[in-house]
Structure formats: structure tokens, C-alpha cells
Amino acid sequence: MSGTTRRTFLAGSALFTIVPLAPASATPEAMAQAIRDLVGGRPVREGRVTLDLPPLVENGNAVPLTVSVDSPMTEADHVRAIHVFNEKNPQPRVFDATLGPRNGRAAVATRIKLGDSQRIVAIAETSRGELYGASADVIVTLAACLEDLT
């Protein structure tokens, strides 16, 4: 497959907004609530965060994901946490990483489970208390000829 896997969501305004993709389903609200619980009333800005996910995956059991944040990672100015949320899994959290100046680079990669095509949101917290966010939409397909008929 060709093309970049870099996916940074750009909204019209400078503030990052979380809009549930499918208002009818309960889980996008759960994701929005989980994000609200984390950020409180603080604004979440756009930029600095890159959420790398393949736009289409052949199986939702192990989707490679990388979150990287543009930051000097100095004692005075560094990323202290990265939080990732999902919209359609049974529960809205993916992971929470704590970082510091000893990382040198704010980038975390892992593999995640996605039960359905959905939006993933990453929010980074800096040592100055600022929040930056990005989101990406992933389409989850399945191979044919699986182990069980269900």
C-alpha cells in the first residue's frame, strides 16, 4: 500500500474539538466524557501531536499506532503525559504514558485492538500544563476464512 500513514486531524478553528462520529451509539459519548474527565475545562489545542495509524487495517487485533509530539523535552518544557482514547471499543481508554526530559523524544509506539472502524484521539500534556490533541479515523476490515463461523 502506498502513501503516508501520518494522520493529523485539522479542524477549522485553532481549538481541537471532539465530535462524536455516530451520535446514536453510546460509546462516542463515553469517549467524549472520558476526555472531559481528563481535561476538565482546559482547552485542547491543535498541532504538535502526530497520530500515526494505518487508515485501513486488515485485522483489528493488532493495529500499529505511534503518537509523537513536537517538544524540546527539556526540564523546562517537555511532554509529561500522552493519553489515547477510542470511540467504539467497550471502554474508551487505550493507554496513558508518562514521560519526562529523560526521554529526549516524545514518541510512543504500540499495537492496539480496535473492535470496529472508529476514531482514535491522542492528547498530550506538557510540563507547562498545556494540552494538544490530534485524531485519526481507522477503517477496520477482516480477512476471509477465519477460525470460527461467528
Which cell numbers in the block locate residue 92? 474508551
Q: How far is the CB of 89 from another protein (least distance, A)?
A: 5
Q: How far is the CB of 56 from another protein (least distance, A)?
A: 7
**Footprint of another protein (CB under 8 A):** 1-2, 5, 54, 56-59, 61-64, 86, 89-91, 93-114, 141-149
Handedness of CA 97, 100, 102, 104 (dihedral sign): positive
Nearer to another protein, 3 or 40 (CB): 3
Nearer to another protein, 37 or 148 (CB): 148
Stated as kind and residue range, the H or E segment containing 84 is strand 79-86
Q: How far is the CB of 99 from another protein (least distance, A)?
A: 6
| Contact (Cβ atoms closer than 8 angstroms) between residue 136 and residue 51 | yes
Nearer to another protein, 111 or 128 (CB): 111
Distance CA 25, CA 8 (A): 24
Q: How far is the CB of 16 from another protein (least distance, A)?
A: 21
SS3 138: strand
